[in-house]
Every structure is written in C-alpha cells, then in structure tokens.
Amino acid sequence: MKRTLLAVLPSFSNARAISYGAALFLGLLGSATSSSATVLTATNSSWKITASAPSASDWNSNAAFDDSAWQSATELASWPGYAAKVIWSSGGQYSTTETQVWARAIFNLGTLPLSAFLNNGFDDDGDIFINGVQVVSDHNGYASNSFADITSYLTLGNNLIAFTATDNYPVWGYNHGAAVQVDATFAQVPEPATLALLGLGLAGLGLMRRRTA
C-alpha cells in the first residue's frame, strides 16, 4: 500500500511522512506566503487537464493552444493554508490507468508584480512551465513540495502556467495528486485619502509661496 502525504488521507503521521519529514507535500508552508500576497493562480476545477499526452509540443508554451477537448480538473482535497486545491484528472486519486496528467491555466496581469513565487506539491513527480520556461523539475520519486521565484518570467497580459505530473506507482502504488499556487506582491498604490492629503499639502505650499512673494 502506498504511503502518501496527500491531505485526503486521514493523517500525516505515517511511515512515509516520517521518512521524508522535511519534504511535507501539504501544510506547514504557511510561513512562506505573505499575508499581503495576491494569489495570481491556484489549482482548482477551473484548470484544464488531460490524461492523454498532448498532440502538440506547444501545450506548455502557447497560451492560444487549443485545450477545448481537455476536461476540467477534479478537485481531490484542499491544500491547508493555501487557496489551491489538490487536483487530478477525472480518474481520481487512485486511478490505475490515469497515472500521468498534463494541466494548464491562463492568468492575466495588468501590472507586473514586484515579486512572484510559485509553491507546488506533486505526488509524486512533476515539471512546471511558465510561458514555456521550465521553472520546476521534481523527479525525486516521492511526494514532496518545492518553491520557485518566477518574477522574471511573467509578462503583461496573458500568462500561461502548465505542468505535467506523474505517479511513481511501481514503488508506492496508485495514489496521486498535484497542487500549484502562484503568490505575488505588488507596489503599494496610495489610498485616495492619502492622495487627498498630499494634494492639500502641495496646495498649502503653493499658497505660502504666493504670500511670501
């Protein structure tokens, strides 16, 4: 029987979780996400996913790639502390035939962030791409999580995030899932009240100069 770190199972306190104690897939990541961060995208049922290898090689680089035949992702569980859901194809967490999936989503940026970090967890292995650039390569053979700074790979307008995930079922049995979230911080925009005070201050300076003149 496979020992997993997925939150859909009742407990993390299993032999595998102890063996890979520092590589927890779910939870214990809250400190990595700023409370003021904006979630740019997070895996959920709105993501497109398929258990069949894409026919075109640009599935992970072309925002206009036709994924209309792909299915909506199946949500397996919540990811504690995150907006993201653990997802897979419709075969579900224990499918013996859908052991590799390909998934993608589009998010739009009207302003580039000061920083953007990708948090992800795969049970068991996976690769993640941002606008065609590979930013994560996780092939350790067991459930784990990782982080990546993707700030320099983002562009104004549409951005594509895509991944492929594989279950290492020959070792652990059939039990799989994937979760991805991108958090960003943006430059602070002054509130209207602050702008109004600034305007009054500038007007006051102008009036004082007139009087002294």
Residue predicted with more confidence, 2 or 52: 52
Measured CA angle at 55 (ends 54, 56), to 5 deg? 95
Residue predicted with more confidence, 130 or 11: 130
DSSP count for the chain of H helices, then E strands: 3, 12
Query: What is the arithmetic mean of pLDDT over 164-193?
Result: 91
Best CA proximity match to 169, nearest among 143, 206, 133: 143
- The whole-number pLDDT of residue 206 equals 55
Best CA proximity match to 54, nearest among 104, 94, 127: 104
Cβ partners under 8 Å of residue 100, min gap 6: 51, 53, 164, 165, 166, 167
Asked whether the beta carbons of 88 and 154 are under 8 A apart, the reply is: no
* Proportion of the chain above pLDDT 70, given as a percent: 72
Q: Residue 76 is inside which H or E element, if any?
A: strand 74-78
- pTM listed for this prediction: 0.77
